[in-house]
């Protein structure tokens, strides 16, 4: 048995832990170096994160619950100026214009704003991460000089007008057009029908003076695909729409009501030829189109790829929100007592219940994995945008990685916020504890900057392309040997020979089965094998699609869409597991390494348990090892329990970030007061006799 020791709670520290003994694996418990782990979690851009967290802890930037959406919008717009004044949002912009050319640091600081108010984070993202970045990355130096200073200072609040009512994630099919008129050297921007209205556009309802509008570029009768155009929206003095431009307010939403989302439409609006953001495609005065990228498809994906930072930042913000939720819920669970299962006098601390540990620790493990994976994504992003590693392959890798991780982390954040809410009971439903509010605000993260399901399909297509490339140039003999090997492997798996081998190796021992599962290489083999098998099976099923008609090829792909998306998700989970495993190699403190290894194992085995039916049906695990997965997870929960508070304290968020009443120590004070009351009552001899006790005494007396 081990005991969690009380510690004094100073300002900004966690409340004292419970003194109730909790089971442990041995008398010698490893200890977590909270400070050292915290430094590791801050990552490469630690100084920027700490600066951003200092801002996020200030009440001036906090969401005021209960405000009307109009009040909330006005407050958030004012907070943007606060960010400008405190030099918090210009890191990615050119140094020549007052920025710092720091792309990774910019995202690291920006995503921390979510703990202040998600509306502020997204409003800032619209202004500088989308509107400003589109001008910077899709425009040229003339555009930078003309518009970026006003965008950076907030003199030009703006919109990123890509999404249309009729086309969300399918950007290539948007219907707004920009048709070049050589006689006036102008583009005519036009919305041909209602479904082509730009929709859900941040800053469109009230604040936006300008917009980067995405439209099909048509010149000399040829459609050259989607390009970006700078369009003035409103008169600077009156704030009324300019002629030919109209729109409406999206109104109250399910969350993020500090942002004035709206719709925009254009009726033959003329803009100068110079307003085409022409880094990747230009139109001469006579209407001739030129581009440094000959392929229309590659050009389209290159332009959209420059805007990948939205997905990168959402991945990081989702991880931050998950951390805050778990910090509050786990603190509360160490203090709240419910039901006297093991004592006649004391109630149990919630976190001592196995099911409560399952609910919170598995999500804690996933949050750590997602956090380490995000740090790798951020490094990849910085490498590409700084020019350190900026090849076509690097950009494709970044796009795929961002799509994979953004999908998983935003879904995980929603799941974690809901589970933490429920784990705190009715208290969790109170707005003062933020779970419900944060979940409402983050709900849309799963669909903007790319619907998560669509993003995973993008990942699946990349996996298929890589699979095909692997065999594109091999000779017949190599391919034949591979096919024979695959067939042999399938035969071994599906006839149960592998399962028999596993059982013989384990010799029926639960302990041996557990050792095999907790082994790092064993986990890697299982997780990797599932991805490779799913991709190979999908590729085999889709082989020859290119020779089919367009209609039949699409139908065949559609029949296997579900398996492809499952494969992409498995791939993303493997990336997170690998990132966690990589991070373990950087942990110097022995005790911290032991505890984090348990947490990594919990993440890996939870993935295997979630997909246990696949492993059993495909012969990857014997029934013996399959039964052991859940048992070993339960053992890990017991090992992790004494370190739960240290693991969330290492996140580095203080009271000003968490801002949940259940995480202030107030619950412990209430519980201690109640326990002291009943102790005094029992000691005085004046406590009323419980009816059940009286009945037992009476029955005993009768027997005598």
Q: Torsion over CA of 108, 113, 114 and 116, rounded to 10 degrees? A: 150
pLDDT of residue 321: 98
Model confidence band, residue 15 (pLDDT cutoffs 50, 70, 90): very low
pLDDT of residue 198: 97
Please identify which residue in the block is written with the tokens 């039901």. 339
Integer-rounded Cα radius of gyration of the chain: 29
Which of 488, 582, 569, 479 is closest to 530 using CA atoms?
A: 569
Task: Classify burial at 392, counting beta carbons within 10 Å of its beta carbon; exposed 0-12, middle 13-18, buried 19 or more.
Answer: exposed
Positions annotated as catalytic residues are 449
Q: What DSSP designation does 13 have?
A: S
Does residue 529 carry a pLDDT above 70? Answer: yes
* Fold classified for 309-649: Butyryl-CoA Dehydrogenase, subunit A; domain 3 (1.20.140)
104 Cα distance to chain centroid: 17
Cβ 173 vs Cβ 157: under 8 Å: no
pLDDT of residue 684: 86
| Mean pLDDT along residues 532-546 | 88
| Structure tokens, 165 | 């009512």
Cβ 467 vs Cβ 482: under 8 Å: no
Model confidence band, residue 335 (pLDDT cutoffs 50, 70, 90): confident
| Structure tokens, 360 | 């919170």
Looking only at the bridges linking them, the beta strands covering 177-181 and 210-219 are: parallel
How far is residue 177's CA from residue 618's CA, in Å, rounded to a whole number? 51
pLDDT of residue 343: 63
| Cβ neighbour number for residue 604 with a 10 Å cutoff | 26
pLDDT in tens, 501-527: 454 455 455 555 667 788 899 999 999
Which of 115, 59, 438 is closest to 430 using CA atoms?
A: 438
pLDDT in tens, 397-454: 999 999 999 999 999 999 999 999 999 999 999 999 999 999 999 999 999 888 999 9
pLDDT of residue 656: 96
Between residues 177 and 353, the one the model is more confident about: 177
Half-sphere exposure of 84 (CA within 13 A, CB side): 19
For CA atoms 140, 316, 596, 56, give the dihedral sign: positive
Please identify which residue in the block is written with the tokens 């920006």. 110
| Mean pLDDT along residues 690-694 | 81
| Cβ neighbour number for residue 651 with a 10 Å cutoff | 25
Please identify which residue in the block is written with the tokens 């518009």. 147
Start-end of H helices in 337-494: 354-386, 392-423, 425-429, 435-442, 452-470, 476-494
| Mean pLDDT along residues 239-243 | 97
The torsion angles phi and psi of 244, rounded to 5 degrees, stand at 85, -10
pLDDT of residue 493: 54
> Whole-prediction pTM value?
0.89
Does residue 627 carry a pLDDT above 80? Answer: yes
| DSSP track, 32-50 | --HHHHHHHHH-TTHHHHH
How far is residue 282's CA from residue 192's CA, in Å, rounded to a whole number? 23
Model confidence band, residue 17 (pLDDT cutoffs 50, 70, 90): very low
How far is residue 143's CA from residue 150's CA, in Å, rounded to a whole number? 11
| Cβ neighbour number for residue 16 with a 10 Å cutoff | 18
Task: Classify burial at 160, counting beta carbons within 10 Å of its beta carbon; exposed 0-12, middle 13-18, buried 19 or more.
Answer: buried
For CA atoms 476, 481, 484, 489, give the dihedral sign: negative
Over the chain, what is the mean pLDDT? 89
Half-sphere exposure of 458 (CA within 13 A, CB side): 22
Q: What is the CATH number of domain 61-305?
A: 2.40.110.10
For CA atoms 647, 650, 652, 654, give the dihedral sign: positive
User: Quick one: which H or E segment has residue 269?
Assistant: strand 269-272
pLDDT of residue 545: 83
| Cβ neighbour number for residue 51 with a 10 Å cutoff | 18
| Mean pLDDT along residues 586-614 | 97
Model confidence band, residue 500 (pLDDT cutoffs 50, 70, 90): very low
Between residues 574 and 487, the one the model is more confident about: 574
Please identify which residue in the block is written with the tokens 């739960």. 644
Three-state SS letters, 167-186: ECCCHHHCCCEEEEECCCCE
Please identify which residue in the block is written with the tokens 């001036």. 60
């Amino acid at each position: 048995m081990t005991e969690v020791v009380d510690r004094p709670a100073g300002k900004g520290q966690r409340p004292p832990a419970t003194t109730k003994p909790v089971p442990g694996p041995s008398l010698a418990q490893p200890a977590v170096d909270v400070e050292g782990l915290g430094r590791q979690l801050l990552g490469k851009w630690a100084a920027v994160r700490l600066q951003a967290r200092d801002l996020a802890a200030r009440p001036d930037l906090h969401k005021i619950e209960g405000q009307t959406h109009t009040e909330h919008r006005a407050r958030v717009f004012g907070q943007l100026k606060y960010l400008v004044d405190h030099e918090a949002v210009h890191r990615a912009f050119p140094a020549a214009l007052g920025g710092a050319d720091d792309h990774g640091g910019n995202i690291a600081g920006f995503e921390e704003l979510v703990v202040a108010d998600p509306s502020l984070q997204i409003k800032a993202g619209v202004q500088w991460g989308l509107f400003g970045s589109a001008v910077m990355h899709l425009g040229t130096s003339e555009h930078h000089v003309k518009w970026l200073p006003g965008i950076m200072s907030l003199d030009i609040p703006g919109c990123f007008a890509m999404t249309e009512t009729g086309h969300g994630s399918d950007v290539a099919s948007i219907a707004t057009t920009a048709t070049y008129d050589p006689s006036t050297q102008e583009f005519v921007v036009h919305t041909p029908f209602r479904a082509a209205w730009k929709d859900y556009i941040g800053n469109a309802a009230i604040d936006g003076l300008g917009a980067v509008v995405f439209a099909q570029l048509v010149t000399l009768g040829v459609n050259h695909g989607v390009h970006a155009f700078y369009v003035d929206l409103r008169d600077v003095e009156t704030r009324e729409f300019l002629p030919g431009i109209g729109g409406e307010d999206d109104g109250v939403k399910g969350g993020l009501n500090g942002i004035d989302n709206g719709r925009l439409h254009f009726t033959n609006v003329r803009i100068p030829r110079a307003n085409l953001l022409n880094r990747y495609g230009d139109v001469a005065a006579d209407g001739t189109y030129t581009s440094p990228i000959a392929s229309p498809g590659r050009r389209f994906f290159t332009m959209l790829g420059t805007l990948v930072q939205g997905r990168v930042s959402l991945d990081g913000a989702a991880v931050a929100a998950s951390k805050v939720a778990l910090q509050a819920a786990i603190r509360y669970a160490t203090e709240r007592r419910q039901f006297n299962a093991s004592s006649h006098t004391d109630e149990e601390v919630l976190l001592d219940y196995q099911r409560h540990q399952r609910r919170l620790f598995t999500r804690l493990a996933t949050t750590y994995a997602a956090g380490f994976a995000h740090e790798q994504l951020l490094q990849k992003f910085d490498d590409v945008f700084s020019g350190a590693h900026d090849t076509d392959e690097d950009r494709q890798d970044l796009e795929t990685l961002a799509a994979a991780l953004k999908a998983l982390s935003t879904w995980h954040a929603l799941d974690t916020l809901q589970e933490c809410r429920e784990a705190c009971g009715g208290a969790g439903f109170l707005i003062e504890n933020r779970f419900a509010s944060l979940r409402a605000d983050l709900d849309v993260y799963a669909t903007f900057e790319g619907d998560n399901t669509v993003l995973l399909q993008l990942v699946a297509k990349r996996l298929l392309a890589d699979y095909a490339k692997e065999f594109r140039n091999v000779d017949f003999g190599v391919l034949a040997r591979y096919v024979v090997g695959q067939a042999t492997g399938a035969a071994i798996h599906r006839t149960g020979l592998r399962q028999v081998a596993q059982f013989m190796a384990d010799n029926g021992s639960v302990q041996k089965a557990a050792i095999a599962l907790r082994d790092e290489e064993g986990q890697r083999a299982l997780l990797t094998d599932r991805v490779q098998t799913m991709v190979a099976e999908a590729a085999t099923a889709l082989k020859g699609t290119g020779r089919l008609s367009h209609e039949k090829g699409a139908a065949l792909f559609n029949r296997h869409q579900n398996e492809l998306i499952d494969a992409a998700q498995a791939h993303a989970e493997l990336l997170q597991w690998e990132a966690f495993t990589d991070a373990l190699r950087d942990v110097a403190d022995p005790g911290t390494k032991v505890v984090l290894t348990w947490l990594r194992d919990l993440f890996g085995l939870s993935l295997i348990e979630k997909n246990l039916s696949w492993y059993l049906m495909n012969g990857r695990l014997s029934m013996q090892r399959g039964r052991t997965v859940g048992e070993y997870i339960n053992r890990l929960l017991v090992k992790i329990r004494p370190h739960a508070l240290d693991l969330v304290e290492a996140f580095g968020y203080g009271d000003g970030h968490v801002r949940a009443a259940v995480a202030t120590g107030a619950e412990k004070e209430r519980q201690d007061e109640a326990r002291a009351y009943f102790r005094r009552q029992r000691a005085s001899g004046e406590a009323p006799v419980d009816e059940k006790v009286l009945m037992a005494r009476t029955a005993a007396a009768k027997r005598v």
